[in-house]
Amino acid sequence: MESEPRLEPTLPLDDARHLEKLKSTIERAIADGKLTAQEMQTIKAIIWSNGKVSPEELDLVRELIHEKVANGEIVYDWT
């Protein structure tokens, strides 16, 4: 009887936790339909907290921030 193949996570556990923290922070920041300069600073601090910027982090920022700004779903509020 063959055992089922194990699925390996695509990211190490620490990276997956880091991405989840980034995602939840972005989602909280944009929940009111705007993104402030302070919120963006917090997001950047999380991205750089492990000393590197990953393609997955950039994808999250693109998907959750840049695309929504482009579509008019959220606005930058730098005032």
> What is residue 43's DSSP assignment?
H
Domain ranges in the chain are: 13-77
pTM of the model: 0.81
What pLDDT score does 78 carry? 83
pLDDT grade for 38, boundaries at 50, 70 and 90: very high
Find out whether 35 and 79 touch, Cβ atoms under 8 Å: no
For residue 30, pLDDT beyond 70: yes
Amino acid, single-letter form, for residue 73 = E
Q: Render 5-29 in DSSP notation, one character per residue.
A: PPPPPSS-HHHHHHHHHHHHHHHHH
Q: What is the mean pLDDT of residues 48-62?
A: 93
Q: What is the mean pLDDT of residues 7-30?
A: 85
pLDDT grade for 5, boundaries at 50, 70 and 90: low
Cα gap 27→22, rounded to integer Å: 9
